[in-house]
Amino acid sequence: NANIYFLDSYRNYIAKNFDVVAVHVFYHCFCQRRSDVEKYSAYKYFQEEDIENIKNLLNQFHFSYGEINNDNALFLANSLVKHVENLKMQNKLDHNFKLNFTSTFIPPNGDYQNYGIMAAIDHINALKDLVKRFPKFADLPKIYGGGLMEDTYLYS
């Protein structure tokens, strides 16, 4: 869901060009990734071990900082990235060097990660709702898409 337009454009393209109904379900915890639409975007949260990792990296590069907390951890991490990029441009650091940061993505809307169980239930409920609203859908053949067309259902 990094680009919500991507989902709508494929769904619309498929429906217009293949004489089918294409349905996309915004399922539970769909927004567990970063998105270009704020209301569908997870936010970064730095847990205690993530902040310790940032502290260690800052110390490794003798980077001065005050207290680190969840409010300023992202700013400090980004500042360190810029510092490392400058060192690479000055040939003071190997160009293949990579910083390793960790964080947790927290979904918006009160969602939580449950590894697909609620998402599956949301898909089932969406399909049941379609059949309830449009009873003739129950008799149509179904194609369940995945991969590139993840979570798209076609009815022809």
Contact (CB, 8 A) for 142 and 20? no
pLDDT in tens, 91-119: 999 999 999 999 988 887 777 766 677 77
Structural domain boundaries in the chain: 4-41+110-155, 43-106
List pLDDT tens digits, range 34-86: 777 777 788 888 999 999 999 999 999 998 888 999 999 999 999 999 999 99
Euclidean distance between the first and final Cα of the chain, in Å?
Answer: 26
For 117-149, write each residue's pLDDT tens digit: 777 788 788 888 988 999 988 887 776 655 444
